[in-house]
Amino acid sequence: MHAPVPDPRDRLIVALDLPSVGAAESVITRLGDSVSFYKIGYELGFAGGLGLARELIADGRKVFIDFKLHDIGNTVARGVASLAALGASFATVHAYPQTMRAAMEGKGASPLRILAVTVLTSYDEADLGEAGYGAGVAATVARRVAQAREIGIDGIVCAPTDAASVRAALGAKGAIVTPGVRPDGSDVGDQKRIATPFAAIRAGADHLVVGRPIVASPDPAAAARAVQAEIARALS
């Protein structure tokens, strides 16, 4: 079975990493109809962003709730059930087997897709070692993808530099979502395992998550259009 091919507009997910609903609404207005998929994480989510998520969903936009859940199974399953009731399209959990199983159980028959975060894009080999994982980035990603596949997860969040090996390990089923995307010339910030939008799509990413290069740009709509043009070029 093949992963459903995303609508080209849905390939770009804009991370609304902003401090207030007002700031997010202003970026959304400036982006207009060019962007149809938004991600809400800690910063906005803990500042009223779940209300905005409801409004976006009611307005026909797709919403990715990125709280990277990781807790005992009962808590994860119930939290995911609430995100399913909200109408979110995607939600993240850390790629621990117990957590992934609980999330898949918690979403029930809803269309919510559970994405398992493998190794954060801000981690390099030294960061992973410091956290106590001695196997290295590639082996840790591979182990987590194999476990996610076994569980039947809906998708994987990984660095664009891992996308090709993740697709090979995951098989055709399952979405690949890559943050750590940096158009040429943009600030890298705290990201470590990065690629351009073109390279990420060519490596097999289904969706790209882009935050600061768009939302912190003086012209967010132009920045989003530039990323979408790169996506289109990579797909042609």
Ligand X SMILES: O=C(O)c1cc(=O)[nH]c(=O)n1[C@@H]1O[C@H](COP(=O)(O)O)[C@@H](O)[C@H]1O
Instruction: Give the CA-trace dihedral at 125, 128, 131, 134, to 10 degrees.
Output: -80
Q: Which is nearer to ligand X, 1 or 199 (CB)?
A: 199
Q: Is 211 in the site for ligand X (CB under 6 A)?
A: yes
Q: Which is catalytic among the residues 68, 107, 173, 192?
A: 68
Please tell me whether 191 is known to bind a ligand.
yes
Q: Which is nearer to ligand X, 2 or 19 (CB)?
A: 19
Q: Note whether 115 and 92 are within 8 A (CB).
A: yes
From the DSSP assignment, how many helices (H) and strands (E) are in the chain? 11, 8
Please tell me whether 225 is known to bind a ligand.
no
Q: Is 27 in the site for ligand X (CB under 6 A)?
A: no
Please tell me whether 149 is known to bind a ligand.
no
Please tell me whether 124 is known to bind a ligand.
no
What do you get for the CA distance between the two ends of the chain, in Å?
A: 23
Closest Cα partner for 169 from 196, 125, 204, 195?
204
192 part of the active site: no
Q: Is 212 in the site for ligand X (CB under 6 A)?
A: yes
- Please, where are the H alpha helices in 45-179? 50-58, 73-86, 97-106, 125-130, 137-151, 163-170
Q: Least separation, in Å, of the C-beta of 165 and ligand X? A: 15
Q: Which of residues 72-131 bind ligand X (CB under 6 A)?
A: 92, 117, 120-121
Residue from 12, 17, 69, 203 in contact with ligand X (CB under 6 A)? 17
Q: Is 196 in the site for ligand X (CB under 6 A)?
A: no
Other Cβ atoms closer than 10 A to 172: 8
Count of positions (residues) in the chain? 236
Residues serving a catalytic function are 68
| Residues that bind ligand X in the complex, under the rule CB under 6 A | 15, 17, 41, 66, 68, 92, 117, 120-121, 157, 179-180, 189, 191, 209-213
